[in-house]
């Protein structure tokens, strides 16, 4: 409570030191605590920091820390609410996309630290009788995360990466995008999703049988190719396993 400036100074009586006053020791501890949390936010949201500038990011970070103190001891999990914080904070009228960039950076953080998964066993899948495909239930890579944005947020993020070569102009009026963010090995990857692709993967995420998954995609996007999209998901390590209703019930 003292570290978060809640003025509970009774803690001063419990700090013993022969060299420095208790208030000075607590101030040092407070500075170190805030600095470590600010550095964690800086590591998790480097593009946000680049967009607003280091000095203003420090101001945002300290405000966020006071309003959202850590809930866990692991700083890798700190920053989950930063995007929501930015969406309520008037930063800059020209940075209307800032909260969505923060959402993307947090999903990258989550995907990077998600559990590993083996690739889809294509040999086993080929042994399934075609008439049994509708009852299969596929599993997504544990690292898969979804982002829907009204802005070209991936392009914005990419253009702010070191050594990125694309010099094309970013136009905010070109519309938004839906992304799947995931990890393959130690690399973060992205896949832009059409309405059908998003419906397809989201239905898998909800645990739907494959027949329902396909229907969900075709209903929202006429001409959606289930075969082509599923092959892409298998090759890109987005879909990693399957089971049947019978095996789930057993």
> Which residue is it, tokens 């294509």?
122
Structural contact between residues 179 and 100, judged by C-beta atoms closer than 8 angstroms = no
Structural contact between residues 48 and 58, judged by C-beta atoms closer than 8 angstroms = no
What local confidence, expressed as pLDDT, does residue 247 receive? Answer: 43
> Which residue is it, tokens 């550095």?
39
What local confidence, expressed as pLDDT, does residue 249 receive? Answer: 34
Structural contact between residues 142 and 115, judged by C-beta atoms closer than 8 angstroms = yes
List b or e across 140-165, with b for residues whose CB sees 16 or more CB atoms inside 10 angstroms. Answer: bbebbbbbebebbbbbbbeeeeeeee
**Residue ranges in the chain whose pLDDT is less than 50:** 246-250
What local confidence, expressed as pLDDT, does residue 148 receive? Answer: 96
**CA–CA gap between residue 99 and residue 139 (Å, rounded):** 29
**CA–CA gap between residue 70 and residue 79 (Å, rounded):** 9
Q: Please write the tens of the pLDDT for every residue from 18-42.
A: 888 877 888 888 888 889 999 999 9
For the whole prediction, is pTM greater than 0.85?
yes
């Amino acid at each position: 409570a003292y570290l978060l400036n809640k003025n509970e100074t009774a803690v001063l009586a419990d700090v013993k030191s022969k060299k420095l006053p208790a208030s000075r020791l607590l101030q040092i501890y407070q500075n170190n605590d805030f600095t470590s949390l600010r550095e964690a936010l800086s590591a998790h949201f480097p593009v946000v920091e680049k967009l607003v500038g280091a000095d203003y990011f420090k101001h945002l970070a300290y405000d966020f820390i006071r309003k959202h103190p850590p809930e866990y001891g692991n700083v890798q999990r700190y920053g989950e609410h930063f995007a929501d914080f930015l969406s309520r904070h008037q930063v800059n009228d020209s940075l209307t996309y800032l909260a969505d960039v923060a959402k993307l950076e947090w999903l990258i953080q989550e995907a990077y630290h998600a559990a590993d998964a083996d690739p889809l066993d294509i040999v086993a899948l080929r042994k399934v009788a075609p008439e049994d495909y509708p009852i299969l239930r596929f599993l997504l890579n544990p690292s898969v995360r979804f982002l829907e944005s009204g802005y070209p947020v991936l392009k914005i993020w990419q253009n702010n990466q070191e050594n990125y070569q694309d010099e094309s102009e970013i136009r905010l009026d070109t519309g938004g995008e839906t992304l799947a963010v995931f990890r393959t090995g130690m690399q973060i990857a992205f896949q832009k999703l059409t309405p059908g692709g998003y419906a397809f993967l989201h239905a898998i995420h909800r645990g739907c049988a494959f027949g329902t998954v396909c229907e969900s995609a075709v209903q929202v996007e006429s001409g959606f190719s289930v075969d082509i999209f599923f092959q892409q998901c298998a090759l890109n390590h987005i879909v990693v396993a399957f089971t049947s209703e019978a095996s789930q019930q057993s």
